Amino acid sequence: MVKGIYKRWLWGVLGLTFAALIICGGVVAAVDPFFHYHGPIEGLSYPIDSERYQNDGISRHFAYDAVLTGTSMTENFKASQFDRLFGVTSIKIPFGGATYKEVDQTVRRAIAYNPEIRVVLRSLDGNFLLADKDDWNETAPNPDYLYDENILNDVNYVWNKEVLFGNVKSVLGLTKAGGHTTTFDEYMNWAPEKEWGKEAVLRTYGRVKERPKELPFTEEDRVMVTENLEQNVLASARANPQITFYYFIPPYSISYWDSELLSKGELRRYAEALRLEAELLLECENVRLFGFDDQFDITCDLGNYMDVIHYSEAVGDQLIQWMAEGEHRLTKENAGEYFERVEEFYRNYDYDRLYEPEEE
């Protein structure tokens, strides 16, 4: 009789445990805060605030014919402006701190999910150009169980207490409070939270007045840049001639050219890498490449920056406007003169001016 009681107790515990797992997993799958199984449910309000967890689900289940992606250089972009100027319906799926390969992988997945894509707009960050083609940001989350088609590893999602008691709870809480699902204008827009201007920028680096000997752009560098671009930029463009790819080189501040290039002997090497990038990309007919490093009124005004590379929301708005109008587009005819102008300006700029007191 005692054995029978223990047996019933054991089966009861197992049954309750199994039922709890089914209920918890079912709630996660039903609400689906990362959009892994479906898009937003009507009547629920979703906080969209975790790019590396939600971007793939957005690509899978939202309605769109254009993709706005890249690094933190695109996080403050407004999808509504992009849609209006380009005549598209877009999703914004940036990846802060992402290498060329990481961004390319999200572009490839979006194209695989959605054959209706007509336009891709993507940043090509200079600071990730001189890198191995397979480089990956190891410091960022990589929830690959959300990116693949293996249903078995979905256990990491549906039976994840942080998802259940964090993300699902946030959806229900936002809905109960009468909030709205995050728009793509709001998604990953961190600009209002930051401090902008000269003082903020100059705090992010120390001035080095003595310049080291400039590093050459070697044959190894040429091979590395070429492989990076061929695998992570050009392959997707060539495989999808029906899509127009708008690529842009983000305008880093004057302080970047001082702190990360001249102060480290990297200016010539960096400039040659950009030249090679343009040379290769301009051979692809469905690529539109834009360069903004010669917009010196932007790059030399530290009021536009929060650190040496991140520009303001207003600058981002201007970049999209220019690209829609075809302004500052690089071509085979003008690219050489553009890079000469850029290199000459930043090589000869009086960087001591950065430390002069601002006029009242």
Segment 254-307, tens digit of pLDDT: 999 999 999 999 999 999 999 999 999 999 999 999 999 999 999 999 999 999
- Determine the pLDDT at residue 7: 58
Q: What is the mean pLDDT of residues 197-205?
A: 93
Tokens of 266: 């990297």
Label the pairing between strands 66-70 and 119-123.
parallel
Q: Look up residue 215 and give its DSSP letter.
A: P
Region 1-21: mean pLDDT is: 52
Is the CA virtual torsion 236, 237, 242, 244 positive or negative?
positive
The confidence score (pLDDT) of residue 211 equals: 87
- What's the confidence (pLDDT) of residue 360? 53
6-15, 58-67, 147-156, 269-278: least confident range: 6-15
Q: Average pLDDT in the 225-244 region?
A: 98
**What does DSSP say about strands 287-291 and 329-330: parallel, antiparallel, or unpaired?**
antiparallel
DSSP class of residue 352 equals G
73, 128 Cβ separation under 8 angstroms: no
The pLDDT value recorded for residue 202 is: 93
Give the predicted TM-score (pTM) of the model.
Answer: 0.93
The stretch 4-16 carries a mean pLDDT of 53
Q: Residue length, the chain? A: 360
Does pLDDT of 357 surpass 80?
A: no
Looking at the predicted structure, is the pLDDT value of residue 8 above 50? yes
Average pLDDT over residues 339-355: 94
Q: How far, in Å, CA of 202 to CA of 291, rounded?
A: 25
Helix (H) or strand (E) holding 129: none
Q: How far apart are CA 100 and CA 32, in angstroms?
A: 29
Mean pLDDT, rounded, for 121-150? 95
For residues 241-259, average pLDDT: 97
Provide the pLDDT for residue 205.
87
CB of 253 closer than 8 Å to CB of 204: no
Q: What tens digit of pLDDT does each residue of 102-111 get?
A: 999 999 999 9
pLDDT value, residue 13: 46
pLDDT, residue 264, reads 95
